[in-house]
Structure 1
Amino acid sequence: MLINSDLHIHSCFAMASSKDMVINNIAPQAKLKGLQLVGTGDGFHQGWLDIIEESTTYSGDGIYSKEDCNFVITAEVEGKGKIHHLFIIPNIEIAREMSNSLDSKNKDTDGRCRVKMEGGEIRDLAREYGCLYGPAHAFTPWTGMYKSIDSIYDCYGELPDFLELGLSADTNMADTVKELKDIPFLTNSDAHSPWPHRLGREFNQIEMNDLSFSSLEEAIKKKNIKTNYGLVADLGKYHMTACTKCHKLIDPLIAKDNKMKCPCGGKIKKGVDYRISEISDYDIPKHPEHRPPYVHLMPLAEIISMVYEKGATTKTVQSKWQILTDNLGDEINILINTPIEEIAKVDSITAPAIESFRNKTLKIILGGGGKYGQILLGETQEDSAIKKEKRVTLDNF
């Protein structure tokens, strides 16, 4: 069975996360999105585990169900060097045991706990309790593993069970790094709110025998991920090297020469694009046989927002989104499978934008420095002048 899964989100207990991130909100929104399996996030927070138990029915083998949505226990921790790691945990009981074993000052106050653990200790903890583990948003410049470590072996001493790409990278970028050829990639939302333009904005389509932790574990270890769906990496807010204050894109070499300081007084942050170029082994990606296609998507509300020039949470956009899902089913099905002519019958303005995603007729304004990129319709990525200038400075010192 093919399962749409988003395995990295956060609860209401995580810093900067919405108070609406509770099971009773996440479950119905996941159904509208088209997700069948969602990671709970924050699995080492005892209060969040209490809410999960109170709000769901235990279906067995690590699965907790609510309103046609199934949850598996997951947790993100911040280890030494401010590197983030993701655990997929067999069940709540094991999550509680692991939480009790952690030496963390903030585990009772923040859903993402901080621990003084190196990657090897993270590995050992996961193996001791039968968890799956890997680096969270591995390439992001603030908390990704590769921000300061050149090899995944230097972090864990072995290949982890998976690597999460993060919003500013995709398979084409990651498969220029030779050491990753045997690792399955995950694409997850890292959502801090339950609404469909956040939840499931990146997700995985996985072939599973049934809905269970054991089946998920087998699928990941056997690399049965059939498709990764995610944002156009160029749109990621840390994709290009840029100033975190004025957000202008800066040539990385010039940035280094100027000690990562922008003339405006802001701090320049190295982009994922350039960081991967520093550690890559190939100029063009070499995809292993097991690597599934990576399909670029954008949340439906964001597409509607773009074409109607209204905010994603405005009444205009939300009402258009509601009409589309009421008439055509869940969001993922609309974005991927529903014939364009059927979408046009419901919303003739949004339909061409969805078609542009499918045909890759998009013009990208690159993101960086903490600012998301933008999409303009009507020009192919390959022909876009901005796309061609991907590694060229857009600002002179």
Structure 2
Amino acid sequence: MIINADLHVHSKYSMATSKNMNPETMAVESMKKGLNLIATGDALHSKWLEELEDQLTPLDDMGIYKTNIEGVSTNFITTTEVEDNERIHHLLIIPSLEVAWQMRDEFTVKNMDADGRPKIRMHASEIIDIAKDYDCIVGPAHIFTPWTGIFKTYDSIEECYGQKVDFVELGLSSDTILADTIEELHDYPFLTNSDSHSPWPHRIGREFNKIDLSELSFKALKKAIGSDKILENYGINPRMGKYHETGCIKCYKLYDIKDAQNNNMKCSCGGQIKKGVKSRIDELSTLAEGKHPKNRPHYQYVLPLAELLSTVHDKGVTTKYVQTRYNQLIEEFSNEIDVLINIPVEKIAIIDKKLASIIQAYRTNNLDVIPGRGGQYGTVNYKESINEVI
């Protein structure tokens, strides 16, 4: 059984998230996207757990849950992201909602329900020990993010945890090509997830994994992650990530890392310069690009369909113009992932030639991208990207 899975999202109980991050909306929008399995997120928050239990139905004892909405096929798996006492974030995939209830009392935290992503006042090694006691699948979230990724503080995974983890999550500003220049990471499977704070398809599933499961269950997912059954990673071009390059968090000026360090990480505008993911990876790299461990799956760049429509037609992502065209494509081709990856560009061109040209450009790695930095997402230079395409 081959599935598309986004294993890291949040609920409406996390800070800076959409009020529409509820089970019903998440399920409907994930089906439009083409996701077979979606994370619950925030599974240590009591009110969210109560909503999940009320609105989802367990599939036997599989650790998988289905929505009660007729005609919606989305499946859920129990997950949470937590912050440790060094502000590093960790992703826990939990065997069931029942186990999530049991785990709540194990952690040192002032108020578990203060935020969907709880601030646990424990070291990473203590958190992973508890997670392992409950048979969770666990690893660091968005490992290179300069604010909360593991590599902002540590130079290795084992230095942080004191043991091996089940996976590492790459985050939006890196990909397999960059991450595999760090030799230690050859020992770990990579997950690519959206970390979405919104249910809409230009956020949820913007990164996802294609995984081969023996059955749809928590145990099968755990086995698949540990035995090279991740068939492909899908994610945005890392240059589109908010922190790919080094830049000012106030004016977004792009900096060479050496110039930034010579300026004590202070921009001429007075803002703070944040070291980019690419610069941090360069510091940790010991291998040349192109050297991958055996069985490392292919990494395919994708960009959300609504964002592509917005770019080529110069309209806002949420405008009626873009949403009408989006819905037309979903009705014609079933789901967004198929449009982005599988449908021949010639068929897409019948409906929207401009869209077909930019899809062809990123499928063939010909996108011209102005890189993200300092908290600002990268942008696609559409006119350059479609040069000699369709």
- Matched AA of 1:210: E
- Matched AA of 2:4: N
> What is the TM-score with the length of structure 1 in the denominator?
0.94
- SS for the counterpart of 1:80 is coil
Aligned to 1:368: 373
> Is 1:216 the equivalent of 2:221?
yes
Residue by residue, what CA displacement relative to the aligned partner does 1:226-283 show, whole Å, maximum 9, x if unpaired?
0000000011110000000010111111211211110100000000000011111113
Residue by residue, what CA displacement relative to the aligned partner does 1:264-315 show, whole Å, maximum 9, x if unpaired?
0000000000001111111324211121000000000010000001111111
Aligned to 1:14: 14
> What is the TM-score with the length of structure 2 in the denominator?
0.96
- Matched AA of 2:63: G
* Maintained 8 Å contact 1:356/1:377: no
Aligned to 2:45: 45
* Maintained 8 Å contact 2:369/2:381: yes
* 1:78 equivalent among 76, 83, 104: 83
Aligned to 2:65: 64
> Is 1:245 the equivalent of 2:253?
no
Residue by residue, what CA displacement relative to the aligned partner does 1:173-224 show, whole Å, maximum 9, x if unpaired?
1000001112000000000010000000000000001111011011001121
Distance 1:193 1:380 in 2: 28
- Matched AA of 1:294: Y
* Maintained 8 Å contact 1:8/1:39: yes
* Total equivalences in the alignment: 381
| 254-263 or 242-251, which deviates more | 254-263
* Maintained 8 Å contact 1:42/1:75: yes
In the TM superposition, residue 109 of structure 1 has moved relative to its aligned partner by 2.3
* Maintained 8 Å contact 2:358/2:385: no
Distance 1:76 1:10 in 2: 8
- SS for the counterpart of 2:58 is strand
In the TM superposition, residue 105 of structure 1 has moved relative to its aligned partner by 1.9
Aligned to 2:201: 196
* 1:187 equivalent among 182, 186, 192: 192
| 328-337 or 339-348, which deviates more | 339-348
Aligned to 2:105: 100
* Maintained 8 Å contact 1:247/1:371: yes
- SS for the counterpart of 1:71 is strand
Kindly report which structure 2 residues correspond to 1:152-191, keeping only aligned pairs within 5 A, or say none. 152-191=157-196
* Maintained 8 Å contact 1:235/1:374: yes
In the TM superposition, residue 119 of structure 1 has moved relative to its aligned partner by 1.8
* Maintained 8 Å contact 2:108/2:122: no
In the TM superposition, residue 360 of structure 1 has moved relative to its aligned partner by 1.8
Structure 2: runs of 5+ lacking an equivalent: none
> Is 1:337 the equivalent of 2:338?
no
* Maintained 8 Å contact 1:188/1:202: yes
* Maintained 8 Å contact 2:192/2:233: yes
* Maintained 8 Å contact 1:363/1:380: yes
* Maintained 8 Å contact 1:327/1:346: no
Percent identity, aligned pairs only, is 50
What's the Cα RMSD here?
A: 1.2
* Maintained 8 Å contact 2:107/2:122: no
Residue by residue, what CA displacement relative to the aligned partner does 1:303-353 show, whole Å, maximum 9, x if unpaired?
000000111111111111011111111000111111111111222221111
Aligned to 2:25: 25
- Matched AA of 2:105: N
Structure 1: runs of 5+ lacking an equivalent: 382-397
Aligned to 1:300: 305
